[in-house]
Homo-oligomer: A and B are copies of this chain.
Amino acid sequence: MNKVAEVIPAYTYGTTEIAKSSVSLDELEKLKASAGFTAQDEHFLHMAGEVLADQTQQIVAQWRSGIIASIPNLARHSRTPEGEPIPEYLGQSNLRFQQWILDTCLRPYDQDWLNYQQEIALRHTSLKKNQADGVRSTAFVPFHDIVAFVAVMNETIKPYLASKGNTEEEVAGMHLAWCRSLQMQIALWSRPYFDAAQKSSDHSINEW
């Protein structure tokens, strides 16, 4: 499997450490239908994976240092509650962020993928944030900020998709497949967030 580094801390994709997703493969098929995601998108995502493979560091650097760092309500989630940087946390989560780009493009959307989608979401909710890296930071990333930032990722990925000389049609196909995948992923991530909201005793927070 394509990996962005030899060792990616807490990257437990496909291992027995990961719980089974509460979303079934049958539900995933229905989700694909709702998003218009087809076998052609799988083809274009694989193409995107080849195109993006040696650019993931640059992409995540743009997202984190170029964009998130200057938006206080996003930047705080990789800092202590007092606002101090936690460089190791940022470094480790950036590696996983890079790997997520590859997984989005190159992994088959099977049970392991579904399971890890759930794990990704959980690690942003109050149920599991900070645990994988053993850090003290914000209790959760509000769901709405993740949804909104997807608009930024969808837009800023374009030049990277276009940087390897593919035709306009190929670039458009890769981008459409990327956008459809991210929309499905937000949909999947919302499930653990709902679970966390239901489990929360403090109804004024509710992970929004």
Contacts and interface: CB of A to CB of B under 8 A. Distances in A.
Secondary structure dominating the interface of A: helix
B195 A35 contact: no
Number of copies: 2
Given A144-B31, A147-B183, A186-B186, A36 B191 contact: no
B147 A187 contact: yes
| Residue among A33, A143, A154, A194 facing the most chain B CB atoms (10 A cut-off) | A194
Contacts of A36: 67, 151-152, 155
Interface string A128-145: 000000000000000111
A198 interface: yes
B198 A203 contact: yes
A31 B150 CA distance: 12
A34 B71 contact: yes
A197 interface: yes
A152 B71 contact: no
Interface in A7-34: 30-31, 33-34
